[in-house]
């Protein structure tokens, strides 16, 4: 099995409120981006890592890759400019995917704490012939309310309108990454993309006949969005006291 990884690092992280892109913020002495680069570079199934960068940061990511241990640099040497949305950034990486890849994995660079057990589980599910691919997900713990129509992100205290419904919480899961797919339906779905989606699984569900599997993932696989998330990641790393075992 050969896996090409698309590592999304093109966002600006505006909700973090930092002076730099959040992928450069330090976590236990290393920039967030370095955690994902090292994880996938050590994974034996991964044959290629394509880092998708913000227009002004390609050289900065290339320098970070050059500073990795020599044995990790070969897989992570490709950096391309991203697009205006998440899916457009993935699409920018598609021409560079190796022709020998069996699976493609899409991962957010802002999720530095991917664990070995989650990686192996989502790979196993994505390799099954009865699925187009698989994604990691975590159960929703809050009660969710529906509005009759969409509203823009609201400031605290704003009246949003009447409650339309309350979907059963046990049926709701939060999508995590990586999201892993068989290469052929993945490429087919992107070739048909005529509108934007918030993740790859939604695009495949709308574009290609077949099903994507949901795999229960660790709550530690958090996305760093706000300063509190960074603090939580520091606590998680401290609790792990050495982290996961090396990739197999």
Are 68 and 38 contacting, i.e. CB atoms less than 8 angstroms apart? yes
- Of the pLDDT bands very low, low, confident and very high (cuts 50, 70, 90), residue 53 is very high
CA distance 60 to 77: 12
* pLDDT, tens only, 175-216: 999 999 999 999 999 999 988 899 999 999 999 999 999 999
Q: What is the mean pLDDT of the chain?
A: 92
Residue 151 pLDDT? 86
CA distance 114 to 218: 8
Beta-carbon contacts of 43 under 8 Å, excluding residues fewer than 6 positions away, are 3, 119, 247
Question: Strand, helix or coil at 29?
Answer: coil
Q: Which two tokens stand for residue 175?
A: 């999508």
Are 42 and 241 contacting, i.e. CB atoms less than 8 angstroms apart? no
Are 103 and 180 contacting, i.e. CB atoms less than 8 angstroms apart? yes
Question: Strand, helix or coil at 8?
Answer: strand
Residue 100 has pLDDT above 70, yes or no: yes
- Of the pLDDT bands very low, low, confident and very high (cuts 50, 70, 90), residue 18 is low
CA distance 8 to 90: 7
Rg of the chain in Å (alpha carbons): 18
* pLDDT, tens only, 120-149: 999 999 999 999 999 999 999 999 999 999
Q: What percent of the chain has pLDDT over 90?
A: 82
Q: Which two tokens stand for residue 48?
A: 């290629």
DSSP 50: E
CA distance 37 to 107: 10
Q: Where do the DSSP E strands lie in 54-147?
A: 78-81, 103-108, 133-139
Residue 91 pLDDT? 96
State the number of CA atoms in the 13 A half-sphere of 178 facing the CB: 32
Residue 246 has pLDDT above 60, yes or no: no
Residue 89 pLDDT? 96
CA distance 112 to 151: 31
CA distance 212 to 204: 8
């Amino acid at each position: 099995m050969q896996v090409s990884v698309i590592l999304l690092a093109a966002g600006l992280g505006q909700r973090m409120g930092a002076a730099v892109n959040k992928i450069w913020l330090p976590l236990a002495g290393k920039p967030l981006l370095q955690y994902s680069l090292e994880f996938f570079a050590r994974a034996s199934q991964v044959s290629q890592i394509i880092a998708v960068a913000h227009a002004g940061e390609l050289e900065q990511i290339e320098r970070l890759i050059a500073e990795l241990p020599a044995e990790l640099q070969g897989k992570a040497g490709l950096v391309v400019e991203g697009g205006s949305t998440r899916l457009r950034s993935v699409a920018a990486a598609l021409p560079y995917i190796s022709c020998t890849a069996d699976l493609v994995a899409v991962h957010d660079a802002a999720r530095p704490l991917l664990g070995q057990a989650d990686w192996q589980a989502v790979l196993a599910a994505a390799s099954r012939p009865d699925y187009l691919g698989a994604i990691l997900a975590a159960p929703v713990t809050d009660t969710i309310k529906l509005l009759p129509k969409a509203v823009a992100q609201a400031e605290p205290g704003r009246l949003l309108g009447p409650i339309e419904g309350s979907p059963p919480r046990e049926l709701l899961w939060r999508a995590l990454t990586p999201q892993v797919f068989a290469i052929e339906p993945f490429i087919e779905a992107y070739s048909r993309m005529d509108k934007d989606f918030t993740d790859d699984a939604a695009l495949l569900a709308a574009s290609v006949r077949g099903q994507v599997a949901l795999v229960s993932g660790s709550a530690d696989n958090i996305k760093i969005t706000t300063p509190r998330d960074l603090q939580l990641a520091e606590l998680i790393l401290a609790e792990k006291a050495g982290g996961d075992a090396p990739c197999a």
